[in-house]
Amino acid sequence: MSTVGDRGRSGDGRTGPDDGPSAPPTREGTAHEGTAHEDGRHESTTYEDSIHKSAAHEGTAPEALDDAFDNDTLPAPPGATGTLLRSLLAPRRARVTLAAVLLLVQQAVIQAGPLLVAYAIDRAVPAFRADDHGPLIAVGVAYLVCAAAAGAFQYAFIVASARVNQDVLLDLRGRIFRHAQALSVDFHERYTSGRLISRATTDVESLRELLNEGLQELLTVVLSFVTISAMLLWLDLGLGAVAVLSFVPLYALIRLYQHRAGKVFRVRSTAVAAVIVKFTETMNGIRPVRAFRREQANEAQFATLNHRHERTNGDALLEMARYVVGSRLVANTAVAGIVLWGAYRVAQDTLALGVLAAAVLYLRRLYDPIDRLGMFLNSYQSAAASLEKIAGLLAQTPSVPEPEPGTEKQLPPPASEHPGRTVEFDGVRFAYRTGGEILPRFDLTLPAGQTVAVVGSTGAGKSTLAKLLARFYDPSQGQVLLDGVDLRELAGAELRRGVVMVTQEAFLFSGTVAENIAIGRPEATRGDIERAAKAIGAHDFIMSLPDGYDTDVRKRGGRISAGQRQLVAFARALLADPAVLILDEATSSLDIPGERAVQRAMDTVLRGRTAVVIAHRLSTVEIADRVLVMEHGRIVEDGSPAELIAGTGPFAELHRAWRDSVVGSGA
pLDDT in tens, 461-507: 888 999 999 998 899 899 999 999 999 998 888 888 889 888 777 78
Beta bridge partners of 424: 445, 481
SS3 400: coil
DSSP state at residue 414: P
What is the reported pLDDT for 62?
52
Burial (0-12, 13-18, 19+ Cβ within 10 Å), 81? buried
pLDDT above 60 for 556: yes
Q: Cα angle vertex 556, ends 553, 558, to 5°?
A: 55
pLDDT digits (tens, 9 = 90+) for 344-359: 888 888 888 888 888 8
The contacts of residue 386 (CB under 8 Å, 6+ apart) are 202, 203, 204, 206, 207, 269
User: Cα separation of 368 and 255, whole Å?
Assistant: 19
Contact 75, 64 (CB under 8 A): yes
Q: Where are the domains of the chain?
A: 78-236+379-399, 237-350, 423-509+578-664
The alpha-carbon radius of gyration of the chain (Å, integer) is 35
Which ranges in 348-409 belong to alpha helices (H)? 353-394
C-alpha span between 277 and 392 (Å, rounded): 18
pTM higher than 0.75 for the full model? no
| Mean pLDDT of all residues in 565-591 | 79
Counting every residue written for the chain, the total comes to 667
Single-letter residue type at 445: T
Task: Give the C-alpha distances (Å, rounded to integers) separating 163 from 149, 158, 220, 389, 652.
Answer: 22, 9, 19, 25, 70
Question: Per residue in 204-232, pLDDT tens?
Answer: 888 887 787 766 777 777 777 788 888 88
Average pLDDT rounded to a whole number, residues 184-196: 80
Q: Residue 68 — very low, low, confident or very high, per pLDDT cuts 50/70/90?
A: low
pLDDT tier at 11, thresholds 50, 70, 90: very low
**CATH class given for the domain over 78-236+379-399:** mainly alpha
pLDDT of 593 over the 80 cut: no
Q: How confident is the model at residue 429, as a pLDDT?
A: 92
Torsion of CA 536, 540, 542, 546, to 10 degrees: 180
- CATH topology classification for 423-509+578-664: Rossmann fold (3.40.50)
Q: Are the beta carbons of 400 and 428 closer than 8 angstroms?
A: no
- Give the residue, 22 or 60, on which the prediction is more confident: 60
Q: Pick the residue with more confidence: 151 or 327?
A: 151
Tell me the pLDDT tens digit for each residue of 263-310: 787 788 788 878 888 887 787 777 677 766 778 888 888 888 888 888
